[in-house]
Structure 1
């Protein structure tokens, strides 16, 4: 006799939600293919998002906080883009030490009809020898390490009022919640991966940093952005040498220049296919 396995109500709800989000994502992908040939795609407006800020310091090293390093790199990146890509409008989610809620960062991108969303962060782990860059896109985490990174970045919601309402019952400590959110950006996954790969290529080949590669996980800051989006971890503040590098103006300029070249190359590649 075939044994029937009955799932608990909570697990059954999670499975149903995952199936529903997957179906919606598939429909978005189909729609994007259907409309792709109707207009030329140009990269005209880019959102630069400095992670954390205000009451949310992000991670910390011995001499610096993530919110400060991320802002300095974001502003430097914007200055480089304005000089060398004058036809592209740069919009910042924040230009000072201000706390911006995660969903508001996506709202800024969507209201401005942005063509790219670039979020800049710093990393930290318990091992002080770990170093290098990582570029993340919205997707399923494939390891416990990936899940821990998304948990850390998503824990920002604990600084927000009524976060469970705003993020549809999201629990930053629940692996199931991260799985649900990771499925929602599939319509832009291909282009997001293209940009992420170019960022890591620049870091490795031109900036001479240790590239830890392109990775996927469920990030709330990327969740509702209606455009290709990446989250860039520019280095580990838990590594003393890397923290000194990120606190040096020349080091930050090299990092910002690498991101700029990746965006420039992405723009040229995408627009050449029109």
Structure 2
């Protein structure tokens, strides 16, 4: 089993970078959740944990402590840049292991292939999450929130999916993941509602996001389904269902 730890940067009272009506913390979480769902749905013998799955504050120390104590095989921190530039760049630690170096060489171009734009390069920095994680690690900076053209792309849900797909493609190549979907086992999707009207699904999605949950709308069987998470371990799905139900949502687990 390959253990991948995803770290959506910032959260809670820390919005991260802001610009053009966008907040970094929200974009980071959206991208990370899509990476998680793609990995669990499409690849076998992979387990994913995250530093946060909602709009919550998590310290830098807590993020790497969670990954280290779990024994993650790879740590990936997702961010959006700011400062007047444009394009994509990635970072490993200045004293990175060969595992980090080799993975960056694979993951970085896989993301560029999906999103295009300016390639700002494969870099190294003494960032805390890279310094304190005990496994190979990378931090990605996905466009600039304060650049008008970049922000226009970051507002596009399909572009965020392309960012996520680039990360997934890189992880698959770097970690030699095999297709098959959740190790041949069941994927437990947490669904908060299903509607014949997309407008009703979007209203529920907005309510969930206001409560700090990243919800995706999918269409199948003539219905617009609002999905809040996908898990290879049923207990994790049950925990999220219980949490949502305690807040008044009619959440359920679906496996098809």
After superposition, the C-alpha distances for 1:135-160 in whole angstroms (9 at most, x for unaligned) are: 10111xxxxxxxxxxxxxxxxxxxxx
Larger radius of gyration: 1
Judging changes above 3 Å, is the alpha-carbon distance between structure 1 residues 240 and 193 closer, same or farther for their aligned structure 2 residues?
Answer: same
**CA offset at residue 256 of structure 1?**
0.3
Question: Which residue is equivalent to 1:121?
Answer: 79
Verify the 8 A CA contact 2:4 2:74 in the aligned structure 1.
yes
Give the secondary-structure state (helix, strand or coil) at the position aligned to 1:90.
Answer: strand
After the TM superposition, which residues 234-249 of structure 1 pair with which residues of structure 2 at under 5 Å, given as runs? 234-249=142-157
1:137 equivalent to 2:137? Answer no
Q: CA RMSD in A?
A: 1.4
Question: Which residue is equivalent to 1:70?
Answer: 28
Determine which of 99, 105, 116 is the counterpart of 1:197.
105
Structure 2 unmatched ranges of 5 or more: 178-256
Give the secondary-structure state (helix, strand or coil) at the position aligned to 2:44.
Answer: coil
Verify the 8 A CA contact 2:112 2:166 in the aligned structure 1.
no
Give the secondary-structure state (helix, strand or coil) at the position aligned to 2:28.
Answer: helix
Verify the 8 A CA contact 1:134 1:212 in the aligned structure 2.
yes
Structure 1 unmatched ranges of 5 or more: 1-42, 140-185, 270-274
Verify the 8 A CA contact 2:114 2:163 in the aligned structure 1.
no
Question: Which residue is equivalent to 1:98?
Answer: 56
**CA offset at residue 197 of structure 1?**
2.0
1:80 equivalent to 2:35? Answer no
**CA offset at residue 199 of structure 1?**
2.2
> Counterparts of 1:74 and 1:206 in 2: how far apart (Å)?
16
More helix by share: 1
**CA offset at residue 204 of structure 1?**
2.6
> Counterparts of 1:212 and 1:247 in 2: how far apart (Å)?
21
**CA offset at residue 246 of structure 1?**
1.3
> Counterparts of 1:193 and 1:79 in 2: how far apart (Å)?
26
Question: Which of structure 1's runs of 4+ aligned residues deviate more than 4 A?
Answer: none
Verify the 8 A CA contact 1:203 1:209 in the aligned structure 2.
no
Verify the 8 A CA contact 1:50 1:120 in the aligned structure 2.
yes
1:268 equivalent to 2:226? Answer no
- For these two proteins, the number of residue pairs brought into alignment is 177
- The alignment's TM-score, normalised by the length of structure 2, stands at 0.66
After superposition, the C-alpha distances for 1:26-64 in whole angstroms (9 at most, x for unaligned) are: xxxxxxxxxxxxxxxxx6100000000001111111111
Greater relative contact order structure (CA < 8 Å, 6+ sep): 1
**CA offset at residue 210 of structure 1?**
2.1
> Counterparts of 2:107 and 2:129 in 1: how far apart (Å)?
19
